[in-house]
Every structure is written in structure tokens, then in C-alpha cells.
Structure 1
Amino acid sequence: MNYKIFHVVMLAIVLVSCSHHHETEIHEGHEAVKIQFAAYSNEFELFAEADPFVAGQPSNILSHFSHLPSFKALEKGSMTIRMAVNGKETTQTLDKPTRKGIFSFNLTPETSGKGQIIFDILTDTGTFQVIVPEITVFGGEEEARHAEESAVLSKTNTTVFTKEQSWKIDFATGLPSKEPFGQVIKTTAQILPAPGEEMILTAKTNGIVLLTTNYVLEGDSVSKGQLLFSISGNGLAEDDASVRFTETKNNFEKAVSDYERMKELSKEKIVSGKELLEAKNKYDNSKAIFDNLNENFSLKGQNVTSPMTGIVKQLFVQSGTYVEAGQSLLTITQNKTLVLHAEVSQKYIPILGSIHSANIRTLPNNQIYTLEQLHGKVLSYGKITNSDNYLIPVNLQIDNLGGFVAGGFVEIYLKTLTQSQALTVLTTALLEDQGNFFVFVQVTPELFEKREVKIGATNGVKTEILNGISAYERIVTKGAILVKLAQATGSLDAHSGHVH
């Protein structure tokens, strides 16, 4: 069995009005004491509301279960609840949720004292367990009422956001992290092709560009050795490549014939060794010239083929364009490995050597990648400046796993090594209001306190918290803006949508 034990647990007793009308006067008999508790395992979040546990009296336990880390409702599966107090155990099994994400149990404790509640969960993916480590079963109602007086939750500056609401949105909570967090340099970087990833093809002869049947366009994918177009000198008064090719071919064929004839005559001592050597020298020279032309030329001119598999980045010529030898024809890029070129202020020179990683944010879709996710590394950083630019260059290399486009720009957060520990939260947890920053601290999984925090550095993914919260306070990390909107309405019932 795949048992997972709780991580965090809360226990509170609250006063809940079951009236369906918002009246100034609260009538006697319409109030009921409720206890709330929460527990976490690796797979599930539990939030439950229950009648106070009194020995010999039935208690309803309304249990909300959310998958982790998605925080979506548990919609399928069976569950057994076990209340163990002083060696006596009370159980109940439900074959399916009472409603989406909610299991409503009814238990009657047999004895008073301290105990625990265990939830055994059976789903399609396995068997799991969530434990509430400490609960109290009271000996009578009067004892439970006295406990309530000292355990009412403060609701100052709090917002109700029910589980039914959070299940409908992209929502999550989490604990702050205590981790090394060095100085962060935020800057903009240009995306460049890595050395060897891009190649410019040039004309090797004068002539007119003739495109092939498959017209080459910018953005087309090409394979190594693929014929792109040809350069023909046919009809030109000078520098006709086809004429030069024919001449070279004829010279080579004549040299072959002369050399073969000289070898036969040399056997009969009709020609001297010197004449044979001269014939071989002419043969070797003409062969080298012909092989060079034959590799790149034909009777139609120069055949321009792709030297590597990649993408046509830029075309410099069109069909019918006259080009000269050495003129650029097109650029082919593989777009697999890229260089991020950034420039930073000279004040960062002392810490540039401690840069060990980076977070990279794409500007079009606001997606953030770590340097490790892109199999990247720090290539170099500058040690000097020049008269044209007083900024210091920093270069990173990445694999193009995120749809980056060479020539574009990204925002990067250069992270430095440090030995100091800092309290950090996900940047998505922060809300800004007139220059001040806030987070929503979880009081219960349905009650959140808006609290101001003072922030430090940020690396784009996490932000340092200087004060305002502790490492043991769970906060909203996704969906905080919707909790803020719920606070603005101020009209939500803490138990709206719950089954009583």
C-alpha cells in the first residue's frame, strides 16, 4: 500500500451561523459550533469541517479532498475514515464522493480523550493515506463549549475563498522556501546563432542565378546536399563558366591520353624518363583543376547545394540576378544551439565570476525557463570595455527547446552563487498595490489573510521576502488575484456551497 503521511495540520473551532438570512440579530438555537482541520500528504490536501467530537454523540465530518499539486477536486474513489481514541476505533466507508471533491462522514466516538483520524483513500492510481495526528473527543457538550471560547479564529483582514471556488480555477498554495539566494542581475539579451550553427553560401563563379523547380523561400527546411539553385554563365561574353568547364574537361582528357601514350612509349625506350614525368605532371595538374570544377560545376554552371540540414534564414538573390564570385547568396541556420548575448553595467564586475545559472523569460508569451531546462551554460563574460561600449558583455549558450528565434530578445535574470540563506516565495504569489506588495496567508484552506510583505531581489521565478511572513505560513501561490477580487466583493458566505 502506498501510504503517505500528513505534512501540515491545523485545528480550529469556529462559530458558524446556519441561518440563510443576513439578519442583525442572531437568534438563540441558530448557532452551532464547528471545528475545522487540514492535513497534507504528497498526493492530497484535506480540509474538513465537523461538529465537535463528543463521546456518545454523532458528529458530521464534511471532508474536502484536493489532488496535489493540481489542487483539483478528487472526483472518483472510495474512502474509509477511522477515528482512533484510547485504543477504540470508529470507522465508516463511502464508495464514492458525496459530491464533487466532498465526502460527508458521520461518526459517533465511543470514548473521550486525545486521538487521531486516518483517511484511507482508494483510487484508480493506488491506495493512499492522510492522517490528522491530533483530535480531541470531549466528555460532554459543556467541555466542548469551553474549548470553543479559547479557539475562535481571528478574521481580521481575511477573505473567504471556498474549495468549490478554488477547484474551478488555476489555484495552489505552498510554503515559502529557505534556500541560498544570491544577487540577481536583471537584463535583456539578444538571441544569436551559436558558432557553426549558421552558414552563408557564396557564389564561386560569375553568372546568372537560376532557381530550381522547387522554389527556395525564406523559412524553408533544407537537407544536406539538396540542390538549391544554379549559377549559369551561358550567353555571357566573358566569364562563361560552362565554356571554362568544357575547356578544362578537354584539357584533362588530352592530358590523360598523352600520359597513357607516354607510358607505353616509355616501356619501349622511345621517350625519356623526363618526358614521361612532364606528361604525368600535366595529367596531375589538369586532373586537379577538373575535379575541382566538376565537384561544383557542370555544363550548366555552378550547382549550389546546401552544406547542412537546416532552415533558409535569408535570401540575398532572386532568379535572374547576376552575381560575381564571392557574393553572398543565402544564409542557412540550424537553429538548434543559440547564444544569449547580454550587456550589464560595470558595477557588476566583482560578481560576474560567480554567475552560475539564469532564468530566461520570453517576451512574446511570458514563459520562463531555467538555464538547466535548456541544457545551457555560461560561456563567457567580459573583463574590459571599449570606447564604443562601456557595458560588460555576458554570453550564455542554450539549446533551442523553447521556440526561440534568432535575432529576437529575451529577459534574463543572471543568478550568482552565495552561502547566505533567504526566505523566498514564487513570484506569482505576490500582488502589488500602489507600490506595496502583499500575499494571501492561509488561515484555513477556505480563509486567507491579506498581509503586506517587504520584498528583496527576484530571479523571475522566485522573490526574496525580507519580512512579513515566516517559513511555516502557507500562502496562495496561484490564483491570488482571484482571491483579491473575492475580497473586493465582500459578499461571500464562508459556507456557501457546503453540504450541512
Structure 2
Amino acid sequence: MALKHLCWMLAIGIAAAGCSRSAVPAAAPEEPETLSVTRWTAKTELFAEYPPLTVGGTSRFAIHLTRLDSFKALTEGNVEVRLQGGAGQPEVFRVDAPSRPGIFGVDVKPTQAGKRELIIVLKAKGLSDEHRVGEVEVFPTAEAAGAAVAGGGDEAPGISFLKEQQWSLDFGTAVVTEQAVRESIRVPARVDARPGGAADVVAPIDGRLTRVVEVPLGASVSRGQELARLLPPPSVPGDLPQLQRARAEAQSTLALATRDRERAERLTTAGAAPEKRLDDARSVEEHAKARFAAAEASLAQYNAARAGGATDAEGSFVIRAPVSGVIAQRDAATGANIAAGTVLFRVVDASQVHLVGQIPEGEAAPARLTRGAEIEIAGQPDRIPAGRLVSTGKVLDLQSRTLPITFAFDNRALGIPVGQAAFL
């Protein structure tokens, strides 16, 4: 009997303990789904996240602002969230600085329910912008907001790419727009000197180079700059006595002409001879001077050629650069004997060049509609505008079966070597 009583007490104790256990707490109500919006203007990109708006409730706006000129986060400025329109008075909520670079946290606490227009305004140093987000609903209670958002349906699946991630990369966004897509082809090309932009410097006559200016390959020269001096051979290269005799005769003739002119001056002064007599004597003297000077020059030229030449020898030809550019070829050395027509230098203007592409025969017909092109060059990460279209060929190259197309290119900034292979 005592054992049975003990068992009943144990059962009652267990039941009492079960009844005294605290109840499981009810699940907390879920937070309403966050809303988001993305807008662009010509200056900034807006991405904002915020909970549904309720009367008397504080909705924390996380406003992300990106500069479109650099695709970087805004690091200073103030932002206003404006609610206006509808039956109520305008309401403005403001923050004076970002909580983190690019992110402005604004607490919005509406006082009136209904349809309102949401406007986000940015004011920063050197930049002001306004995003008209559009119509939003301010709900009277949190329950009404939750019910309305819950009935909105699920979002389409996508890949998350946070603005904080975008700002740390070389990344940009743009509004999708409809634009014309032009047909294009990729053809091999080369950089050529333009017509008149390259010239060979040749020897005008036979002779000896008495001086060659030190201009290495690639050196810049200007038009008219002296490059070399050329001493022509004497007219009678092997007959020194003949040159000396010609000089002596010219000297004797000059002396006679000088004495005759002096005699004519005395007679004319005394009135014994007419003025014409003096004029004739002066003319003969001038001719004699010229003959003597020529004989002297011939003898000096002979002596300079026999001695190996001198840089300032009389009768030397000064050879100058015909165009401004760079030295692309040099085959001249001081003291060398050269023949007329020998190429001494080649000067190329590399600042203004032509880009010549080779269009395949099968693309020749649409090539007539070409209006522009871009250049692809090894070592250059980006394509470069090819410049002004000069001409499209009308005769196929018989060997390559291609049609030439030429663009004028300003090469001063990039300095692409003439002869460089490229693609258009």
C-alpha cells in the first residue's frame, strides 16, 4: 500500500512539473521586405535601399551615389530626401555627410499617409544633382505596409554586385539606349609617310664630301638645315701647270686693264678724251677681275681636292635637308668620293603620316561606304581613331588582291614608327 501511494505521488509531481513549464515564445513578426530603386542623371547614379514608409515610423534610407565622370563614390556633400505632393505638406529629411564613402544614411519619418512623390537631392562641392524617383506610398501602419509589400511577388533571380564592390574596381555603368550598329571589318594596315613627307638627299654632282654633319639615325632635322658639304672635282683634275698658267694670264690681263682705266681717268679729267673712253676701260677692268677670280677659285679647288678637301673650300656645294623630319637613312661619310645621284640621307616626316589598309577583294564593294576607322597597334591597350579618310582605292593590287584605303593621322602625340604594322 505504501509503495502504491508513492507511485501516485510521483505521477502527480511529474504532471505538476509539466504544467509549470513556461510557454514557447511566439515568433517575432518579420521585417518588411526592403525596397530599392536605381536612377541615372547626366552627372550621378543613384541606388537607394529603404524599408516601406509608414506614418510615425523611421525608415532608414541607404543612398548610394556614384559620380558618372569617374564612376567613383561621392565622399562629401549633403543629401535631402523630399516627400511632396498628395494632400499633405512637403517633408524634407537631410544628412550633411556620408556615413561611409558613397553611402548616405538618411532617417525618414513621415507624418502623413498617402501617395507622395519621392525626390533625392544632392549638394556637394562643384556638383549638384536631383533624382526624381517617382511616386511612393506612405502606409498608415506597419501592418499595412507589410501586407502590401508581401503581396508584391518575388523578384527575378540575379547576381548580386554591390556598389562597394563596383567602386573598388575599374567599372562603370550606363543606361541602356538604342543606337545604330555599323557594319565593320578588320583589315591589316601599315603606317606610311605621307606624299611629300619623305625625301632622299642626293649628291647633285660628282665630288668629295668635305664635311658631314653628325646626325645619327632617328635625329630630328628641320627643312633647310645643312647636312653636308660637297667639293666638286677640278675642271682639269690632272693639269696643275695649266691652271697656274690660266691664273697668271688672268692676273696679267687684270693689271693691264687697271693701268688702262687709270690712264683713261687722267685723259678724261684733262678733257683730252670723252667719257665713253673711261666707261669702256672700266668695263674691261671688271671683266678682267672676274676672270682672275675664276682662275683663283679653280686653282684653290684643285688644291683642296688634292689635299683631301676643306670644309670651307671655295666652290663647295652645301647639301641641305629638303623637308623637316627625322633621319631614316644615312650613307654619307666625310672624305668619301661620291657620284652624282648617290643617296646620302633619307629624311621622313613622322609627325603627319598615312595609315594604309588593305581591304580584301570580297569586301571592296561595301568599303566604298567607309566613313571612319580605328587603329589597333601592338602594345597599345586601346583602339585609336584613325583620323581623316583620304581616299579609297579603285584599283586592286594584282598580287594581294586587296584594295588600299588611306587615312591621314596626326602622329605627334603617339609617335608610331613609320612602317609599323597595324590593323584597321
TM bin, normalised by shorter chain, reads 0.7 to 0.9
Partner of 2:6: none
Partner of 1:183: 183
Partner of 1:144: 145
* Offset of residue 56 of structure 1: 2.0
Residues in 1 aligned to 2:155 and 2:395: alpha-carbon distance in whole angstroms: 60
2:350, 2:415 within 8 Å by CA — same for their partners in 1? no
Partner of 1:299: 313
* Offset of residue 52 of structure 1: 0.9
Partner of 1:451: none
Residues in 2 aligned to 1:239 and 1:123: alpha-carbon distance in whole angstroms: 89
The 10-residue stretch of structure 1 (36-45 or 128-137) with the greater mean CA deviation from structure 2: 128-137
Q: Are 1:344 and 2:359 matched, yes or no?
A: yes
Taking the TM superposition and a 5 Å limit, the aligned residue runs for 1:238-277 are: none
2:45, 2:65 within 8 Å by CA — same for their partners in 1? yes
Query: How has the CA–CA distance of structure 1 residues 349 and 225 changed in structure 2, closer, same or farther, with 3 Å as cutoff?
Result: closer
Which amino acid is 1:152 matched to? D
Aligned length: 362
Q: Which has the higher strand share?
A: 1
Query: How has the CA–CA distance of structure 1 residues 404 and 65 changed in structure 2, closer, same or farther, with 3 Å as cutoff?
Result: same
* Offset of residue 197 of structure 1: 1.6
1:78, 1:95 within 8 Å by CA — same for their partners in 2? yes
Query: How has the CA–CA distance of structure 1 residues 239 and 30 changed in structure 2, closer, same or farther, with 3 Å as cutoff?
Result: farther
Residues in 1 aligned to 2:210 and 2:129: alpha-carbon distance in whole angstroms: 70
Residues in 2 aligned to 1:119 and 1:59: alpha-carbon distance in whole angstroms: 15
> Residues 448-481 of structure 1: CA distance to partner in whole angstroms, max 9, x if unpaired?
xxxxxxxxxxxxxxxxxxxxxxxxxxxxxxxxxx
Taking the TM superposition and a 5 Å limit, the aligned residue runs for 1:476-491 are: none
> Residues 138-172 of structure 1: CA distance to partner in whole angstroms, max 9, x if unpaired?
233333223323243111xx321111111111111
Residues in 2 aligned to 1:263 and 1:358: alpha-carbon distance in whole angstroms: 78
Q: Could you list the runs of 5+ residues in structure 1 that have no partner in the other structure? A: 1-26, 413-500
Matched position secondary structure for 1:160: coil
* Offset of residue 61 of structure 1: 0.3
Taking the TM superposition and a 5 Å limit, the aligned residue runs for 1:298-317 are: 298-299=312-313, 301-317=316-332
Taking the TM superposition and a 5 Å limit, the aligned residue runs for 1:154-173 are: 154-155=156-157, 158-173=158-173
Larger relative contact order, structure 1 or 2 (CA cutoff 8 Å, min sep 6): 1
Q: Could you list the runs of 5+ residues in structure 2 that have no partner in the other structure? A: 1-26, 265-272, 302-310
1:197, 1:336 within 8 Å by CA — same for their partners in 2? no
* Offset of residue 320 of structure 1: 5.0
Q: Are 1:377 and 2:388 matched, yes or no?
A: yes
Q: Are 1:108 and 2:120 matched, yes or no?
A: no
Calculate percent identity across the aligned residue pairs.
23
Residues in 2 aligned to 1:257 and 1:48: alpha-carbon distance in whole angstroms: 105
Partner of 1:329: 344
* Offset of residue 131 of structure 1: 2.1
1:344, 1:391 within 8 Å by CA — same for their partners in 2? yes
Matched position secondary structure for 2:368: helix
Residues in 2 aligned to 1:150 and 1:321: alpha-carbon distance in whole angstroms: 93
* Offset of residue 89 of structure 1: 2.2
Larger radius of gyration: 2
Partner of 1:404: 416
Instruction: Determine which of 399, 403, 408 is the counterpart of 1:392.
Output: 403
* Offset of residue 231 of structure 1: 3.9
Partner of 2:66: 66
Query: How has the CA–CA distance of structure 1 residues 139 and 267 changed in structure 2, closer, same or farther, with 3 Å as cutoff?
Result: farther
TM-score by length of 2: 0.72
1:55, 1:112 within 8 Å by CA — same for their partners in 2? yes
* Offset of residue 403 of structure 1: 2.9
> Residues 295-328 of structure 1: CA distance to partner in whole angstroms, max 9, x if unpaired?
xx94074433333432222223345544322111
Which amino acid is 1:363 matched to? A
Query: How has the CA–CA distance of structure 1 residues 94 and 321 changed in structure 2, closer, same or farther, with 3 Å as cutoff?
Result: farther
1:200, 1:331 within 8 Å by CA — same for their partners in 2? yes
Which amino acid is 2:402 matched to? L
Query: How has the CA–CA distance of structure 1 residues 177 and 92 changed in structure 2, closer, same or farther, with 3 Å as cutoff?
Result: closer
Query: How has the CA–CA distance of structure 1 residues 211 and 339 changed in structure 2, closer, same or farther, with 3 Å as cutoff?
Result: same
1:85, 1:113 within 8 Å by CA — same for their partners in 2? no
* Offset of residue 218 of structure 1: 1.3
Which amino acid is 2:218 matched to? G
Residues in 2 aligned to 1:383 and 1:183: alpha-carbon distance in whole angstroms: 21
Residues in 2 aligned to 1:239 and 1:383: alpha-carbon distance in whole angstroms: 55
1:41, 1:130 within 8 Å by CA — same for their partners in 2? yes
Partner of 1:45: 45
Residues in 1 aligned to 2:323 and 2:199: alpha-carbon distance in whole angstroms: 9
Taking the TM superposition and a 5 Å limit, the aligned residue runs for 1:71-110 are: 71-86=71-86, 87-110=88-111
Residues in 1 aligned to 2:167 and 2:31: alpha-carbon distance in whole angstroms: 28
* Offset of residue 336 of structure 1: 2.1
Residues in 2 aligned to 1:239 and 1:409: alpha-carbon distance in whole angstroms: 52
Query: How has the CA–CA distance of structure 1 residues 387 and 119 changed in structure 2, closer, same or farther, with 3 Å as cutoff?
Result: closer
